């Protein structure tokens, strides 16, 4: 024991110092792994759990170095791992340390238990740690008080961040916990260093510290203040980033009237559309009748885009199946700020404004109108798309040909293929001259397996889980999702997949702790239904398939397999692959596909011959 200034201080034993050095090194190492390592969600959870447990060990060990009296020196008590300042607080700190150990151990032992649970455990640990740190800082010496309180508040803010958003972005989660572990490791080493100097050279150290106390105090305070600003900024930024934007609300136009035609493909009403209309074009939104795959009547909305200058003659018809924009009412393209930007929007605008075509796009049922969207259900999409073109032909302001070319990208590519597959039987009034599908989700079962652990794949799976739970109630999907998936699925389903909401949806997808659907579902009834959504043909008219070879969502190898199967079945496919193009850049304005698509479509209208057997060509990456 050593008496300094009337206060009794318990010396660290040698073994305590060695253990604390090892703990500090472990915290630093774990923080660096989280910061620099390319970890999966489960690996992140494992490393975080170990780090939280080690931090708990450090906190518990520090409580053992308390003073045998009422208080201890507050000189190095204001850090992230505080030493208790009274007997009561000693037990509080010990309890906090044990809580960290238990929480961290649970995370490390059960990393697949689900992100919401694990985030909640981290939240409790951070808030508890911050609260204890704040008490110790207030009761400690004035030199460290402000910095200690700021650091404590930063810890509490990170805890609130994890609590308020249990499905955090993986990057923010890793960076926040990594910074927390690194700070604790550095702080622990500094405490040991200061403690050693304090024991050996108390008087000299005090004199040296007094030489420039303001600089040291302000340095600590500024660093702690910066940590607080970053933590609060992360909390606010996360709320804005993951919260999405308010969805537009369907107005009276989308309300179903009492007197509705009994036949599908009947136009109910139209209304001029002025938002997002390209120069040289005019547009309308429309409401029309359609059917579901079971034959029941339904109502859908859609859009008509026509050249602003036309002489009343019959215009060529472009039938468009749009890609994924979401699965709830406010996500309908006709309600959005850019209703004609989806998929191959640039090529579509050129077809309308330069070549005089009319593009008709269905919103799909349950998007602008009431009910649940039948997302990626091929037969439903095809009926909606075909009925949209049938209804548009009844619009008195335009005269539309019964000959049509069908387009679609991604989800819309699957819908376009199904449209060409069902057209002759469902809508014999229309003649499909060709179908162009760009990165189509043709092999839905293959994609569900290949993309099940990626953020975009989890987002798509969430849309499927939300809509198919109603479309196919016999599956009872909501009861069979993987642990921790239900909350994210619900939140993702309420976000559109366009504009800034697309980023929010994907970031939320990164926080689904595991694949959305368990293997038992994919190999069971769900898998069978996914396979049933594969368009197999025969298709009305020639088929063009375009695929970007850098597509991370619709994988080229799966598209190759689907095309090969169709070719083996005797279906002629014009298959074009593009090096360096991704899922989105394939249909971008500067994509080499854009002029090819326009030319291919005009060839179909002009009756130029298409390949009679499968052909494949790969286009090199353009600079």
Question: Average of pLDDT values for 468-483?
Answer: 93
pTM for the full model? Answer: 0.74
Most confidently predicted of 54-63, 209-218, 339-348, 546-555: 546-555
User: What pLDDT, on a 0 to 100 scale, did the predictor assign at position 518?
Assistant: 93
Distance CA 562, CA 539 (A): 14
Read out DSSP for 492-514?
HHTS-SSTHHHHHHHHHHHT-SS
Residue 517 has pLDDT above 80, yes or no: yes
Q: Residue 619: beta bridge partners?
A: 578
Cβ atoms within 10 Å, residue 616: 14
Q: Which of 159, 167, 47 is nearest to 111 (CA)?
A: 47
From start to end of 322-397, where are the E strands? 358-362
Residue 291 has pLDDT above 90, yes or no: yes
3-state SS string for 525-576: HHHHHHHHCCCCCCCCCCEEEEEECCCCCCCHHHHHHHHHHHHHCCCCEEEE
Name the pairing type of β-strands 281-291 and 358-362: unpaired
Give every CB contact of residue 412 below 8 A, 6+ residues apart in sequence.
320, 321, 322, 323, 342, 343, 440
Distance CA 176, CA 182 (A): 10
Question: Average of pLDDT values for 59-78?
Answer: 50
Do residues 325 and 496 lie in contact, with contact meaning Cβ atoms separated by under 8 Å? yes
Do residues 235 and 161 lie in contact, with contact meaning Cβ atoms separated by under 8 Å? yes
Per-residue DSSP letter, 11? P
The model's pLDDT over 7-59, given as tens digits with 9 standing for 90+, comes to 434 444 666 677 778 887 887 888 788 777 767 666 777 787 787 788 788 77
In Å, what is the CA distance from 469 to each residue of 52, 165, 463, 475, 485?
38, 25, 10, 7, 14
Residue 97 has pLDDT above 70, yes or no: yes
Distance CA 407, CA 436 (A): 5
Do residues 505 and 489 lie in contact, with contact meaning Cβ atoms separated by under 8 Å? no
Residue 139 has pLDDT above 90, yes or no: no
Distance CA 105, CA 90 (A): 22
Name the pairing type of β-strands 315-321 and 358-362: parallel
Distance CA 383, CA 406 (A): 13
Name the pairing type of β-strands 358-362 and 297-307: antiparallel
Q: What share of the chain is helix, strand, coil (3-state, %, to 5)?
A: 55, 15, 35
Question: Average of pLDDT values for 66-92?
Answer: 48
Q: Residue 548: beta bridge partners?
A: 578
Question: Average of pLDDT values for 167-186?
Answer: 66
Per-residue DSSP letter, 524? T
User: What pLDDT, on a 0 to 100 scale, did the predictor assign at position 239?
Assistant: 57
The model's pLDDT over 338-359, given as tens digits with 9 standing for 90+, comes to 999 888 999 999 999 999 999 9
Query: Where does 263-441+535-619 sit in CATH, by number?
Result: 3.40.50.1820
Number of H helices, E strands in the chain: 19, 12
Distance CA 542, CA 610 (A): 6
Cβ atoms within 10 Å, residue 598: 19
Euclidean distance between the first and the last CA atom of the chain, given in angstroms as a whole number: 75
Q: Residue 298: beta bridge partners?
A: 290
Most confidently predicted of 53-62, 183-192, 423-432: 423-432
Enumerate the domain spans of the chain. 8-200+216-241, 263-441+535-619, 447-531
Distance CA 127, CA 119 (A): 12
Run of H or E residues at 113? none
Mean pLDDT rounded to a whole number for the chain: 82
Run of H or E residues at 521? helix 519-522
Residue 75 has pLDDT above 60, yes or no: no
Distance CA 79, CA 148 (A): 6
Among 15-24, 195-204, 285-294, 533-542, which is the least confidently predicted range? 195-204
Distance CA 539, CA 280 (A): 33
């Amino acid at each position: 024991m050593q008496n300094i200034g009337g206060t009794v201080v318990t010396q660290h034993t040698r073994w305590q110092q060695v253990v604390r050095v090892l703990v500090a090194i472990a915290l630093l190492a774990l923080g660096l792994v989280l910061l620099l390592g390319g970890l999966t969600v489960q690996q992140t959870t494992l490393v975080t759990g170990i780090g939280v447990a080690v931090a708990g060990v450090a906190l518990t060990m520090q409580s053992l170095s308390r003073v045998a009296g009422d208080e201890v020196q507050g000189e190095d008590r204001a850090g992230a791992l505080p030493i208790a300042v009274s007997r009561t607080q000693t037990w509080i700190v010990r309890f906090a340390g044990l809580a960290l150990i238990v929480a961290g151990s649970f995370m490390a032992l059960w990393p697949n238990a689900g992100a919401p649970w694990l985030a909640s455990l981290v939240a409790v640990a951070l808030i508890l740690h911050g609260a204890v740190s704040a008490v110790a800082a207030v009761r400690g010496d004035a030199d460290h008080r402000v910095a200690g309180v700021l650091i404590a508040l930063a810890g509490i803010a990170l805890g609130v961040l994890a609590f308020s958003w249990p499905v955090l972005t993986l990057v923010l989660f890793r960076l926040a916990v990594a910074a927390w572990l690194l700070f604790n490791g550095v702080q622990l080493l500094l405490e040991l260093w200061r403690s050693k100097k304090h024991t050996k050279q108390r008087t000299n150290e005090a004199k040296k510290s007094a030489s420039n106390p303001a600089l040291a105090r302000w340095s600590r305070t500024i660093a702690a203040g910066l940590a607080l600003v970053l933590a609060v900024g992360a909390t606010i930024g996360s709320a804005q980033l993951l919260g999405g934007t308010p969805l537009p609300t369907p107005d009276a136009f989308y309300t179903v009237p009492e007197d509705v035609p009994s036949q599908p493909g009947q136009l109910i009403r139209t209304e001029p559309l002025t938002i997002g209309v390209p120069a040289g074009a005019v547009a309308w939104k429309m409401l029309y009748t359609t059917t579901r795959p079971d034959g029941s009547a339904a109502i859908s909305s859609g859009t008509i885009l026509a050249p602003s200058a036309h002489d009343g003659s019959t215009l060529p018809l472009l039938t468009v199946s749009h890609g994924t924009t979401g699965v709830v009412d406010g996500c309908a393209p006709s309600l959005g700020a850019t209703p004609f930007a989806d998929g191959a929007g640039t090529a579509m605008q050129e077809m309308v404004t330069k070549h005089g075509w009319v593009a008709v796009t269905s919103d799909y049922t349950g998007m602008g109108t009431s009910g649940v969207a039948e997302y990626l259900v091929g037969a439903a999409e095809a009926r909606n798309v075909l009925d949209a073109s049938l209804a548009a032909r009844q619009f008195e302001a335009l005269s539309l040909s019964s000959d049509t070319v069908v387009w679609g990208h991604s989800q819309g590519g699957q819908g376009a293929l199904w449209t060409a597959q069902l057209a002759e039987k469902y809508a014999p009034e229309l003649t499909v001259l060709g179908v162009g599908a760009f990165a189509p989700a043709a092999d839905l079962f293959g994609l569900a397996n290949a993309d099940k652990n990626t953020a975009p794949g989890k987002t798509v799976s969430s849309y499927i889980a939300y809509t198919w739970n109603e479309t196919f109630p016999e599956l009872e999907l909501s009861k069979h999702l993987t642990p921790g998936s239900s909350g994210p699925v619900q939140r993702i389903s309420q976000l559109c997949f366009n504009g800034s909401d697309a980023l929010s949806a994907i970031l939320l997808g990164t926080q689904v702790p595991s694949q959305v659907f368990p293997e038992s579902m994919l190999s069971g009834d769900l898998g069978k239904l996914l396979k049933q959504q594969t368009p197999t043909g025969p298709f009305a008219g020639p088929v063009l398939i375009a695929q970007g070879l850098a597509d991370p969502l619709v994988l080229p190898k799966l598209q190759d397999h689907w095309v090969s199967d169709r070719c083996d079945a005797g279906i002629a496919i014009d298959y074009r692959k593009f090096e360096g193009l991704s899922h989105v850049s394939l249909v971008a304005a500067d994509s080499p596909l854009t002029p090819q698509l326009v030319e291919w479509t005009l060839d179909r209208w002009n009756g130029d011959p298409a390949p009679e057997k499968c052909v494949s060509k790969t286009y090199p990456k353009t600079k």
